[in-house]
Structure 1
Amino acid sequence: MNLLAVDTAGKSCAVAVMRDDTLLYEAQCNNGLTHSETLLPMIDTALRACSLTVNDLDVLGATNGPGSFTGLRIGLSVIKGLAQPRQIPCVGVSTMAALAYGVNGAGTVIAAQDARRGQVYWAAFDLADHTRLTPDAAAPVTELQNFVKTCKKPLFFVGDGAYLCYNTYGQSDGVLPCPPALQVLRGAGAALAAKALADDGQCVPPARLLPDYHRLSQAERERAEREKQQEGI
């Protein structure tokens, strides 16, 4: 099985190619350019490096949330566009799961993406086998306190929201540091998470590859707040 997976959920952009259980190619880009500028060239380079074309791919995967609304739409649109002509099976990968699959070891990993205003998108996984411990959620960083206190240690934080978690819980018992350069979402993590879902029969046709935002956009939240205030008048 030849699998291409991409991530555009956060600040960095990642691409990976796997053949069965072998990672053929992986790349991350965090140079400040938009995903619309970097993703297609990265995919082209990845396929050329592996002597593959889109026609050789059996599964396409992309992080589908939570994360940046614009970023997610870019990644999903590109993958759907590549898959559509041949109806290549697709799989939407939780951004949190993709982050967790990029880390190995013992203990617990909390994947956290910056959701702004002191909040993070987060989920926790057992590092031994990447078993999910909590569902994906959006919450203030302070609401992770009980889980951080009671989970299996050591505990690591990864993702572009990891700095918020370390600022809050970095001195807690059992919390170990993770270098910022290793907190980014790896292409291999997205590919491994996508392969696990594909092996489990969770592929969908391109038209059914959809985002999972986990909360309303800022514009929708502001409109709901205005409507609520108007109702109270």
Structure 2
Amino acid sequence: MTKDDWLADPQYRDAVADLLGVLAYGELTAFTRLAGDSELSPSQPLKAAVAGLAVAEFRHYEILVARLDEMGIDPEVAMAPFIAPIDAFHERTRPSTWLEGLVKAYVGDGIATDFYREIAAYVDPSTQALVHSAMEDVGQAEFVVKVVREAIKADPKVAGRLALWGRRLVGEALSQAQQVAVERDALASLMVGGIGGPGRPSADLAELGRMFARLTDEHTRRMGRLGLAA
């Protein structure tokens, strides 16, 4: 089946619009947050490095918006349902220090990235490739791990505060992922099957449980890379 064959199902088309819409707004907010973090960076090299990450996130946003335009879907309309919940998540998890902002960009956004990659298992190959491209690590993981580990080495007390912050982020991020999955009917139908044509993969409730377990496991690994206890 081609991408157009899959998109011939109106409910599947709505689900893809939701998926690309939430990703696009997530990338746009990632850009604005990293741009703000760049201004707070304690040195010129760090400022430039964070600004580069912000630019890469904006390019991802542009890729997603271009696909929505190609589908004949207004990107603003596709993003609209997700503005309030994503803004609320960021308001609840507003970092109080520059390091907390970096950990949020790596840990909090990482959970969202893993979640949408999981959803991408249930879309057509062309959309799946687009999602993986938009979720590609642009160097933030290596950068954040290096900076945080150096900060912990310089002041070991930082580790405890950042570990608590990471635990808070995982709870909020998983709660938001579940909210998105449950409250958007098209996305929920995308995962459990019934749209997109015959032979399309789907997940049962047990698999959904395993998916959230995988998200938690990957969070633990990310915290370990930072030198923090999950």
TM-score by length of 1: 0.25
More helix by share: 2
TM-score by length of 2: 0.25
More strand by share: 1
Q: Which has the higher contact order (CA 8 A, sep 6+)?
A: 2
